[in-house]
Amino acid sequence: MEDKFDVVIVGSGLGGLVSANILAKEGKKVCVLEKNNQFGGNLQTFVRDKSIFDTGIHYIGGLEKGQNLHQYFSYLDIMDDLKLQRMDIDAYDVITFDNDEIEYPHAQGYDNFVKQLVQYFPEEEEGIREYIKKVRDTCYKFPLYNLEPGDRYYGEDLLTLKAKDYIDSITENPKLRAVLAGSNLLYAGDPEKTPFYVHALSVNSYIESAWRCIMGGSQIAKQLVKRFRSLGGKIYKYQEVNKFNFEEKQLISVSTKKGDTFFADNFISNVDPKLTLQIIGKEHFRNLYYKRIQNTESIISSFSLYIVFKPGTFPYLNKNYYHTNAVEKVWTTQNYEEDNWPEAYLISMNEDRKNPGYADNLTSITYMRFEETEPWSHTFNTVAVKNDRGEDYEQFKERKIEAYLSEIEKKFPNIRSCIKSVHTSTPLSYRDYIGCYEGSMYGFAKDADNPMKSFLSPRTKIPNLLFTGQGLNMHGVLGVTISAVVTCGELLGKEYLLQRIKDALAEKAKVNS
């Protein structure tokens, strides 16, 4: 029992690592257990043909001095060590459509956002300004988004206003509606369900400032691990938790496939809530609670293409492309038929440091339902646990690569001549590496018609077990960082923790001045 911890954290995704650092800063004895060979969950990077790819972090917002994520990362002592590149000020994202050569910009800075779009929609300035104001006002209704104390205070329609309904209300121009909604791959927008606050929280920090991580987002995980260890924390790879151990209904320890057992007073799961409950076993929960979690809708999964370019062949673009094949489909591309897949995609690229001005690689992401990979769902394959899914799986991926490249070629006609190699991730890859239910992109789906159904308390029905990660409040780097603050606030006291963060930032400001 001398190895007993104050807190054991299961999973080293961003939520787990931020929670670990916050608690260690407060003098807690903390241990993090990770099943894979790399820490970081969606922060992981991997190498193909000597080219570094991100698993999930393609750009980050809110990192200019004084902005919210900059403040959280400064408190965590990692901000100064991140290698970042600011994206195109006038078009960090561009929204494009088939049969339209115009690239509609999303620009950094609220006034600049309006200025750049008004060039293409001169009659719509009032509506665009109204949209920007609504985005800002919505974000300011979430206190932790702005490092403010207090529980959420909801405006009358904050949770029930639908993103599509609001965007449609400010303009009757179908193209502008599609442009404002065009980056909804960021949150898998559903026209019948997605609340406007999800849209606002997803896009606002990028409008404030948008950045690429040079050499990949794994640097965030590496810095968090480094800081955590310097605070005395213990963190282990290849330790997959497969059992939660109880003594008279009290959770006392977790055991791993390696046969090790870790004791603690409190436990935090950074694993998808559905999977966490499945590992623990339904007998430890009331039937109603277990069913509610298992039946909450998870967001669709994705298929990703990773293209390595021949050096000096494909021009580097310091922006992302969100392409939809038709204006009227901007909200519905999740409902694709196999014959017309993909109907929309995101393209993001990294610059070749040896050949400035040219791209080293390109990542493209589109929707894919888990059911497409159902024939191989019984298999499990990671670097830590290697398995072959079989020849038919490889043929499935080749068919998808060909269909996907044919779509991208419409936008970039010469891309095939620049390709050195192509690699993929499927819903199974995300499920196995990230530990998300059926490879879900962003955790639980939010529904404006039933707003409380997908809100998950960090407290579970087991008194000393908590959740953190994208399953809680919001996905994305900022959303998950805030979820870790929410979780740790349950153990440390919400107002106490927020004051500690503010005091630390004030101290840093004093030192720097």
Q: CATH homologous superfamily of domain 5-44+60-83+215-297+449-512?
A: FAD/NAD(P)-binding domain (3.50.50.60)
**Residue 511, pLDDT score:** 82
Please classify residue 120 by burial: count the beta carbons closer than 10 Å to its beta carbon, then call 0-12 exposed, 13-18 middle and 19+ buried: middle
**Residue 181, pLDDT score:** 98
pLDDT tens per residue, range 74-96: 999 999 999 999 999 999 999 99
Residues of the chain scoring pLDDT < 50: 1
Other Cβ atoms within 10 Å of 443 Cβ, number: 26
* Cα–Cα distances in angstroms (integers) from residue 276 to residues 120, 254, 428, 435, in the given order: 48, 12, 18, 10
β-strand pairing of 5-10 with 261-269: parallel
Share of the chain above pLDDT 70, in %: 98
* Cβ 179 vs Cβ 104: under 8 Å: yes
**Residue 368, pLDDT score:** 97
DSSP H stretches of helix in 163-240? 163-170, 174-180, 196-208, 218-230
Paired tokens of 349: 């690229």
**Residue 327, pLDDT score:** 96
**Residue 156, pLDDT score:** 62
Task: Give the residue among 65, 73, 43, 63 at the shortest CA–CA distance from 55.
Answer: 43
Paired tokens of 67: 């902005």
**Residue 350, pLDDT score:** 94
**Residue 154, pLDDT score:** 62
* Cβ 419 vs Cβ 307: under 8 Å: yes
Angle, CA of 406, 407 and 412, to the nearest 5°: 90
Task: Give the residue among 93, 75, 73, 76 at the shortest CA–CA distance from 84.
Answer: 73
DSSP-assigned beta bridge partners for residue 151: none
Q: Where are the domains of the chain?
A: 5-44+60-83+215-297+449-512, 103-213, 300-441
Residues 6 or more apart whose CB falls under 8 angstroms from that of 247 comprise none
Paired tokens of 36: 């894979």
* Cα–Cα distances in angstroms (integers) from residue 39 to residues 46, 181, 235, 370, 505, in the given order: 12, 33, 9, 25, 27
SS3 call for 4? coil
Other Cβ atoms within 10 Å of 67 Cβ, number: 15
Element housing 512 (H / E): helix 494-512
Paired tokens of 377: 């769902």
* pTM for this prediction: 0.94
* Cα–Cα distances in angstroms (integers) from residue 260 to residues 218, 232, 432, in the given order: 27, 20, 21
